[in-house]
Amino acid sequence: MKKVNRSFSKILMALVIIFFYLPIIYMIVFSFNEGKSLTHFTGFSLRWYEHMLESRDMMEALYTTFGVALIATAVSTVVGTIAAIGLSKSKKIVRDIMDQVNNFPLMNPEIVTAIGFMLLFITFQIEKGYATMLLAHIAFCIPYVMLSVMPKIRSLDPNLADAAMDLGCTPWQALTKVIVPQITPGIFSGALIAFTMSIDDFIISYFVTGSGVKNLSIMVYTMSKRVNPSINAISTLVVVIITIALLIINIAPAIFAKREEKEEIKKHRVLIPSIAGALVLILVIGLMNFSGGDSSLPYAGETLYVYNWGEYTGENLIKDFEAETGATVVMENFDSNEQMYIKVANGEAYDVLVPSDYMIQRLMDEGYLQKLNQSKLTCMENLVDAVKGLPYDSKNEYSVPYFWGTVGIVYDKTKVDVADLEKEGFNIFLDEKYKGDIYLYDSERDSFMMALKALGYSMNTTDESEIQKAYDWLVQCVETMEPEIVTDEIIDNMTQGRKALGLIYSGDATYVMSENENMGFYLPEGGTNQWSDAMVIPKNAKNPDLAHEFINFVSSYEGAYDNSSYVGYTSPNQEVMDELSGVGGDFEGLESYVPRTDNEKDEVFVYNEATRKMISNLWSKVKIAASNAR
């Protein structure tokens, strides 16, 4: 019986290890994938490691991650250890109170702590960036150090320090030569936990950073919003670094334990300078990363702050713009218009924003944007007529298009009959022939657009009864069709043909179709959303002249071609759009790349706050209904 139990325990342990480590192995394997797919291996290649090493953003994120982690660990270990020792000599009531204070950050949800830090920095008008991220990391690491050190201190004889001083030690010698050596295991454990927590943190870092400063967690989150296999390469590099560190930590004690005491002393003498040298090296590398460019260029030494969607910029766009102007571009990323709005409304200064149509209207109405200086714009004549003079900015006084497109249905030609699409339009999402084989897009705006268009209504309706019918349509869909509600993961999933059809942005459909010839894109005749993301300059921009230069560069042939060919979304530059969709172009024959412009039922979103709130509340109920239906 005991043998059976031991065998079962070994099998269970093996399964647990496989469960934890198989995803890491999977990630490492796909970091060497030749293709862009995150799930389909097409051949061995080092291209994504090359891309990673060439990416300044990734390398700066790597530096920021380990720089912040090492400094935060060093500071929090010293402060936490001193605090723990001090508390051990305090009155019991003080110790009890401080124990509760110390435990509170550990028990508090990270999102609450993150918002608290963010509000603190905003209140005291501290510019968010590297320093604020470092301060936040030090603050949340200290409790972990104290939690590790306190048990070791409690296990000591309370008279140990007094005995040491009776034998001739000074208070400092008693602390460093008697107390600290006894609690070293606790200090070491606390330092490791602090380092791990800092490396791992995303939520707090996300809310306290600014000025383009990103750690790897934020970088990976941004990259995961769209297909970017470099995410596997950078993650594999981190795994390798941490594995090497763990090997050193575990092997080094065994090696040094065999040496004589003088060798041990020598080790300590060498170790401290080595750690200090490592920190100095990190700081030097950081300064090199932020060093200026050619001073003879027109905007040398100036900085442009851009706030854009994640993975929405050409591979060489920023690098080429910096080379041409001598300026430094600091780009931050957002994943929703609402997230971008919150930062702008809170007074954070950017020089260029790239919001969507309806959000541009809101920013204009609320006075957050400045009019463009038309005399400084040389790009308008290069743009497609269809993206000029849109309802949200009829005279293009505030905005210049960045990308544009439609929202349609991506479908597997081997599973979906085109006749069904032509007959039903968006109502195909209620056709039980495709039950359990569809994707809905987790966007209240796009999902309600689909439902309203399926019912024959305007997607800009303010009629509550029509919106209620659209809600009922969506509830029927989630309760009867068993859809999977996704966001950008639909891109890779449809590339692999995992379901029959789904709602998708045209630019994402372009990528899907270019990777899988069995995929198609359909726009219902009942109309859809013709969207546009555009560049605008906030009213509090610090460098509007350079912002106009950036807008011109992005809209030029070179900038627009790099942008569109890399991202896959439709360029507003007429020449670029014609070339990429024409014979021999990257997107030749892909109907999703050139947006439809001849259907009167296609609409551009109009912002209405009351309607937005209503739809937002109803979409939450739709998702609850979807959860209950599972």
Whether residue 527 sits in one domain with residue 428: yes
Predicted local confidence at residue 227, as pLDDT = 60
- Which distant-in-sequence residues (6+ apart) come within 8 Å of 79 by Cβ? 138, 142, 145
Give the type of residue at 581: S
Listed residues 168, 203, 228: the one ending a domain: 228
Whether residue 218 sits in one domain with residue 88: yes
Coil, strand or helix at 83: helix
Predicted local confidence at residue 179, as pLDDT = 83
Q: Are 455 and 470 in contact (CB under 8 A)?
A: yes
Going by C-alpha positions, the residue among 549, 519, 521 that lies closest to residue 537 is 549
Q: Are 53 and 234 in contact (CB under 8 A)?
A: no
Whether residue 574 sits in one domain with residue 606: no
Dihedral of the alpha carbons of 15, 18, 19, 24, in degrees to the nearest 10: 170
Residue 157 lies in a domain: yes
Predicted local confidence at residue 289, as pLDDT = 47
Whether pTM > 0.85 for this model: the answer is: no
Whether residue 619 sits in one domain with residue 602: yes
Q: Are 356 and 337 in contact (CB under 8 A)?
A: yes
Residue 320 lies in a domain: yes
CA distance 427 to 421: 8
pLDDT tens track for 488-528: 889 888 998 999 999 999 999 999 998 899 999 999 999 99
pLDDT tens track for 279-317: 444 444 444 444 445 567 888 889 999 999 988 998 889
Residue 343 lies in a domain: yes
Predicted local confidence at residue 226, as pLDDT = 62
Whether residue 547 sits in one domain with residue 505: no
Residue with tokens 């109009």: 606
Going by C-alpha positions, the residue among 483, 484, 486, 476 that lies closest to residue 454 is 476
Predicted local confidence at residue 277, as pLDDT = 47
- Supply the CATH number for residue 64's domain: 1.10.3720.10
CA distance 42 to 30: 9
Residue 523 lies in a domain: yes
Whether residue 96 sits in one domain with residue 155: yes
Bigger pLDDT: 351 vs 227: 351
pLDDT tens track for 324-334: 999 999 888 88
Predicted local confidence at residue 270, as pLDDT = 42
Listed residues 200, 228, 256: the one ending a domain: 228
The strand pair at 400-412 and 501-505 is best described as: antiparallel
Please report which confidence band the pLDDT of residue 425 belongs to, taking 50, 70 and 90 as the band edges. Answer: very high
pLDDT tens track for 85-96: 888 777 778 777
CA distance 186 to 345: 45
What is the domain count for the chain? 3
What's the token pair of residue 98?
């401080």
Question: What's the whole-number mean pLDDT along residues 462-467?
Answer: 96
Predicted local confidence at residue 132, as pLDDT = 92
Listed residues 228, 260, 276: the one ending a domain: 228
What's the token pair of residue 129?
């960036």
CA distance 496 to 89: 63
Residue 424 lies in a domain: yes
- For the cut 90, the answer to whether the pLDDT of residue 557 exceeds it is yes
Whether residue 398 sits in one domain with residue 342: yes
Measured CA angle at 300 (ends 295, 306), to 5 deg: 155
Please report which confidence band the pLDDT of residue 265 belongs to, taking 50, 70 and 90 as the band edges. Answer: very low
The alpha carbon of residue 201 and the mean position of all alpha carbons in its chain are separated, in whole angstroms, by 13
Coil, strand or helix at 201: coil
Average predicted confidence (pLDDT) for the chain: 86
Q: Convert 395-421 to b/e letters by CB count within 10 Å (16 or more is b).
A: ebebbbbbbbbbbbbbbbeeebeeebb
What's the token pair of residue 236?
């594999």
Whether residue 619 sits in one domain with residue 478: yes
Helix, strand, coil percentages, rounded to 5, for the chain: 60, 10, 30
Whether residue 346 sits in one domain with residue 426: no
Predicted local confidence at residue 5, as pLDDT = 66
Domain limits for position 470: 405-531+591-629
CA distance 216 to 212: 13
Q: Which of 133-142, 160-169, 479-488, 492-501 has the lowest mean pLDDT?
A: 160-169
CA distance 453 to 440: 15
Give the type of residue at 249: I
Around Cβ 342, how many Cβ atoms within 10 Å? 12
Please report which confidence band the pLDDT of residue 541 belongs to, taking 50, 70 and 90 as the band edges. Answer: very high
CA distance 223 to 206: 14
CA distance 255 to 276: 22
Whether residue 417 sits in one domain with residue 362: no
Whether residue 68 sits in one domain with residue 196: yes
CA distance 91 to 87: 8
Predicted local confidence at residue 397, as pLDDT = 95
pLDDT tens track for 167-177: 788 888 887 88
Query: Between the CA of residue 152 and those of 123, 169, 188, what are the distances in Å?
Result: 39, 22, 11
Residue 13 lies in a domain: no
- The secondary structure element, H or E, covering residue 512 is helix 506-515
CA distance 196 to 630: 37
pLDDT tens track for 598-608: 999 999 999 99
Residue 380 lies in a domain: yes
Residue 4 lies in a domain: no
Q: Are 33 and 45 in contact (CB under 8 A)?
A: yes
- Supply the CATH number for residue 318's domain: 3.40.190.10
Predicted local confidence at residue 106, as pLDDT = 79
- Which distant-in-sequence residues (6+ apart) come within 8 Å of 184 by Cβ? none
Around Cβ 309, how many Cβ atoms within 10 Å? 23
CA distance 71 to 562: 38
Whether residue 191 sits in one domain with residue 87: yes
Length of the chain: 630
Q: Which of 92-101, 243-252, 259-268, 409-418 has the lowest mean pLDDT?
A: 259-268
Phi and psi of 371, rounded to 5°? -70, 145
Bigger pLDDT: 272 vs 218: 218
Tell me the Cα Rg of the chain: 29
